Structure formats: structure tokens, C-alpha cells
Amino acid sequence: MKTPTPIAEITGTGRFLPENVVTNLDLERSLDTSDEWIRTRTGIHERRIAPDDMCAAYLGAEAARGALEEAGADPGDVDILIVSTATPDRWLPSTACDVQAILGCDKAVAFDVMAACTGHLYALSMAEGYIAAGRARIALVVAAEKMSAIVDWTDRKTAVLFGDGGGAAVLQPSKGFGRGILSSHLQSDGNLANLLYRPGGGAIDPISQSMLDEGRHLLRMNGREIFKNAVRSMAEACEIAIKKAGWGAEDVDLLVPHQANIRIIEATAKYAGVPMDKVFVNVDKYGNMSSATVPVAFDEAREQGRIREGSNVVTVAFGAGLTWGAMAIRM
Ligand code: ACO
């Protein structure tokens, strides 16, 4: 397949992680778990947990400042601001409107995308569509996740997995040189929604005393089924995105996968035919920050020189919905 001409390129990235580090040893004090179990089953050593008064919009806005600065764009220049979040600060309005107000992106159309851990890829793809249609020249794509607010801290099967953080990217029309998003493959399967969900708190089971008493507003997960689906879907999405970009697996300089679990990452890379020395991993430091993992990893990889001008990057994610997807990007 011929390499397509990109429409939009990433001109800036940023990240923000709360300072507070919670280690596996810290969790041992409140849960029937162990550092050894968490490390060997997930690869996670520690995660960042935001203080009570630090909201998702703040995490996202701080990440966005870095991305805008690198892109040389003022908040007032932003045409479209999309926030991916599984942990909106409020049910109304969108977290994107709060980020807009914090940053002063006064002329932007601002809205949220809810695609759980795949949210950043969905949001990038929507921003690319706005640019392709000539309806935006500067798109700010933000991931803002305060997972600690929706985790059941008494459930060892989920509490050890997640962390808080924000990531961001600025997308602008491609200036040529073959740089930009070359391909994407996004998919969903609502039939498997109950593998990872929050049963209560929405219109189907409105907030009530019994809902709160039973913790139906908190995250529930079938870990084993999620694991199987994640590996299969992410490997398949990588393959499709790589092929649509006109590449083979050997052309990939760096794979930036969603950071949920080192075993999922290793299995995905193996099936996608990418060796682990070309895979970016930081799940040990931050755990699973839902849609923020991809932009945070992307920004760190650039800072470490693992993504440079001209690098061929594939990013891939999987999450509740189920949702999954991959993108091939030439930097
Ligand atoms: N500490 C100690 N023991 C634990 C813990 C814990 N934190 N959690 C579960 N266990 C126990 C279980 O109770 C079970 O004990 P039992 O055999 O006595 O019943 C045993 O460990 C094995 O449990 P499994 O669930 O079978 O363990 P598994 O090897 O599947 O690992 C895990 C669990 C890590 C959750 C894995 O299934 C996984 O990573 N799944 C993917 C989940 C995920 O990443 N979700 C994030 C959202 S989706 C996404 O981002 C991709």
C-alpha cells in the first residue's frame, strides 16, 4: 500500500503529573495485596494520585500549556478543544468547557469525548477531521483523568491498577515533508460494555443512597476478559494502521502503547511484530491513567529523544466500551 499524504501533524505535546507518589508498599497498608503481586502481574511500581482539590480539568489544562507553548500557539488561537476523559469533573458542563475557561481558549468549540482509555486517539482523529474539512487550523487535544476519583479503594482487583494525570497534543495542518497522521483505525464493541464499567450514577441508575452504599458508582472490571480482548484488539489495530500507512512492522521506530499492564504491552508488541526495544514503557511509574497514558508516554518519549523529527511512530490503545484503535504518525 502507498504511503498516504498526511493532513494534520502534531506540533506540540505536554504532560502533567500530580506530585504525590503512591507506591505498591503504600497500598499494602490498606489492601490485601503485595508489591510482588502488583509488579509481577502488572509491571506497576507506583502511581501518581492527585489531591482532593485538584480536578481533572486542572490536570488537563496544565498539560495543555506545555503543548501550546511548544506549538507556539496562544490559547486564544485554538479553534477546537477536545478533552478525552472517563472522569469528568461534573456531569454538566463538559470538562472541555472547564479547560477552555482555565486556559482562555475563548474562540474554540470545546467538547468532551468519552472513549475511556482510547479517548486520546478518538479525539486526535476528530481533530484531524476538523482540520481536513477546513474548519480548524489549531486543534488542542487534551486527556484529563482523575482515575482515583472513580476507583473502589477497597477492591484490590482494580485499585492497584490506576493513577491520575493529564496529557495533551496540538494538531495543525501538515506543513509537508510527509509529516503527520498517516493512518488510523478506530473501533468499538458495545456488546462487551459490562467487562469494564460503572453501573450507577447515570440515568439508568440515578444517584441514590443504595447506589452509594453498594458502590455502584465505582469502577467494576472483569480483568481476565479485558486482558484477552485488549491484546487481540490492540495487535489487530496496530497491524491495520501499519498497513494503511504503507509500512511494515520493521518500519516502526517506536510503538507507544496504552500503558495498562506490562504483560498486555509485551503480548501486543509480539503479535504486532515490534521488538520490545522499540516499545515505550512507563507503566511502572504511573499505572493506568486511562486516556492520558498515550499523550503522557508520547511526550516523555519525545523528551527522551526516542521520538525525533522523521520518526515513524505507532500508538495504540484499548479501553472500556469496548473501544480500541491505533494510529501511524510520521513526526
Ligand atoms: N493483590 C493480590 N492478589 C490479587 C490482587 C491484588 N491486587 N488482585 C487480584 N488478586 C488475586 C485474585 O483474587 C485471585 O485470587 P484467587 O485465585 O484466590 O481468586 C488471583 O489474584 C488471580 O486473579 P486474576 O484476576 O485471575 O489475576 P490475573 O493474572 O488475571 O491478573 C489483572 C489480574 C492484573 C487485573 C489482569 O487480569 C489484567 O491486567 N487485566 C487487564 C485489566 C486492565 O488493564 N484494565 C484496565 C482498563 S482496560 C485497559 O486499560 C486495557
Question: How remote is the CA of residue 83 from the centroid of ligand 1, in Å?
Answer: 29
Q: 93-107, pLDDT tens digit by residue?
A: 999 999 999 999 999
What pTM value is reported for the model? 0.96
pLDDT over 90 at 53, yes or no: yes
Question: What pLDDT, on the 0 to 100 scale, is given for residue 176?
Answer: 84
Q: Is 42 close to ligand 1, i.e. is its CB under 6 Å away? A: yes
| CATH T-level fold of 8-173 | Peroxisomal Thiolase; Chain A, domain 1 (3.40.47)
Hey, CA dihedral for 162, 16, 83, 138, is it positive or negative? Answer: negative
Q: 128-142, pLDDT tens digit by residue?
A: 999 999 999 999 999
Number of continuous H segments (helices) and E segments (strands) in the chain: 11, 13
Q: Is 234 close to ligand 1, i.e. is its CB under 6 Å away? A: no
The verdict on whether omega for the bond into residue 25 sits within 30 degrees of 0, i.e. cis, is: no
**d(Cα 18, Cα 297) in Å, to the nearest integer?**
15
Task: Match 503522557 to its residue by C-alpha cell.
Answer: 296
Q: Is 217 close to ligand 1, i.e. is its CB under 6 Å away? A: no
Residues taking part in catalysis: 117, 258, 288
Per the document, the length of the chain is 331
Ligand 1, atom 35: closest residue by C-alpha: 223
Backbone angles phi, psi at 169, to 5 degrees: -145, 145
Beta strands 21-23; 46-48: pairing state:
antiparallel
Burial of 303 (0-12, 13-18, 19+ CB in 10 A): exposed
Q: Is 129 close to ligand 1, i.e. is its CB under 6 Å away? A: no
Ligand 1, atom 40: closest residue by C-alpha: 223
Instruction: Sketch the domain layout of the chain as residue ranges.
Output: 8-173, 180-330
Q: Is 39 close to ligand 1, i.e. is its CB under 6 Å away? A: no
Same fold, 8-173 and 180-330: yes
pLDDT over 90 at 310, yes or no: yes
Q: Which atom of ligand 1 is nearest to the CA of 33?
A: 1
Pocket test for ligand 1, best of 196, 219, 224 (most atoms within 8 A of CB): 224
How many Cα atoms within 13 Å fall on the side-chain side of residue 108?
31
Hey, CA dihedral for 66, 67, 71, 73, is it positive or negative? Answer: negative
Question: What pLDDT, on the 0 to 100 scale, is given for residue 4?
Answer: 87
Ligand 1, atom 30: closest residue by C-alpha: 224
**d(Cα 235, Cα 268) in Å, to the nearest integer?**
5
Question: What pLDDT, on the 0 to 100 scale, is given for residue 154?
Answer: 95
Largest CA distance in the chain: 58
Class of 180-330 per CATH?
Answer: alpha beta
